[in-house]
Amino acid sequence: MRCVVQRVTSSSVSVGGKTVGAIGPGLMVLIGVSADDTEADLKYMAEKVPNLRIFDDENGVMNRSVLDAGGSILAVSQFTLYGDARGGRRPSYIRAAKPDMADALYEQLIARWREKGITVETGIFRTDMQVSLVNDGPVTILLDSEKVF
């Protein structure tokens, strides 16, 4: 499982010109699911993302998590995080999970974040979405449950 985590002052996602999810301060998280993902990958992201210490404390040091800061998460599915463009100009998405599996793991991840008391807004799975955000910092963190980066 891969996540692109961005600290934001605000973020929203629209489908067909209608806003379907929006947050104020918090994290905008793009989520990609691999065909090889298991419960271990899900657990890793369920813990890693909300506990990332990327929010400033009273001394201006990134020492607080979204949980500590009381922020929200905007979660957007994005199979293209598994695009492999090493072999040519058109990326291969062979490692991306099939839609049924990807949707199930995506929904489970969101549920686990909500269980922690985090407000989580979402896009709509398998739709053409437009994502807007104001990246705060900017702070962008790449996570991979296989720890390849």
Question: What amino acid positions are annotated as catalytic residues?
Answer: 78-80
The answer to whether residues 76 and 122 touch, using CB atoms and an 8 Å cutoff, is yes
H or E element: which one contains 7? strand 2-15
The stretches of the chain forming alpha helices (DSSP H) are 39-51, 66-69, 99-115
The two three-digit tokens of residue 29, written as one number: 């998280």
Secondary structure, 3-state, 63-90: EECHHHHCCEEEEEECHHHHCECCCCCC
- Element (DSSP H or E) covering residue 139: strand 130-144
